[in-house]
Amino acid sequence: MSGFESRSPYIKQISIYFKNGDYNKAYDLSKEFAEKFPNDMASHFLFAKSAFWLNNFQVAEEESTKAFNLSVGNDELAIVGILRVCAYYRLKKYQKGMQLLNLLKTKLPQREEIAKLKFIFALALHNEPAAMRHLDMLYEINENAASELIMKILGKFA
């Protein structure tokens, strides 16, 4: 037990753990934070993020879902939603990930990160026409980001 009485010390200490690569410590403290502040979006987000870094994608999915449901505003929805989608990807829940991305796109149009993820999920779902539509959308949003993504993918096959 840390003995912290407010949320700010938790956030600061967990951030330090992340910065230092101490993901096990971040996980333990963020779990305590989420238990102590169950209605705080940040507590569940940090718990999900630490679980993700430790390859515990089931906990990352569960905690990011809690954080998503507690999110307020587009910025929180985007950050938490992207973490949740990444957990879905690692759990091979491609359909759920694409559904969440479609929801995020309606609330957050023209977000580069969403377009990239939609492209990746469309490829994972073997939907090449959709992947090309998402890539075209990414080119409209940020041509450099689209080119970098294509070069990264092509580099994997070279």
Whole-number Å distance between alpha carbons of 83 and 52: 8
Over range 113-125, report the average pLDDT. Answer: 91
**DSSP 8-class letter at 108:** S
Q: What is the pLDDT of residue 152?
A: 86
Q: What CATH number has the domain bearing residue 23?
A: 1.25.40.10
Which of 133, 132, 84, 138 has the alpha carbon at shortest distance from 109? 138
Over range 109-116, report the average pLDDT. Answer: 84
**pLDDT above 70 for 1:** no
**pLDDT above 90 for 43:** yes
Over range 26-37, report the average pLDDT. Answer: 97
DSSP 85-97: HHHHHHTT-HHHH
What residue numbers bound the domain in which 48 lies? 1-104
Q: Are residues 118 and 50 in the same domain?
A: no
Q: Are residues 58 and 121 in the same domain?
A: no
| Range 75-87 burial, b when 16+ CB lie within 10 A, else e | ebbbbbbbbbbbb
- Rg for the chain (alpha carbons), in Å? 17
Last-in-domain residue among 61, 88, 104: 104
Q: Are residues 63 and 9 in the same domain?
A: yes
Q: Are residues 95 and 122 in the same domain?
A: no
Q: What is the pLDDT of residue 158?
A: 65
Q: Which is higher by pLDDT, 56 or 108?
A: 56
Domains of the chain: total? 2
**pLDDT above 80 for 3:** no
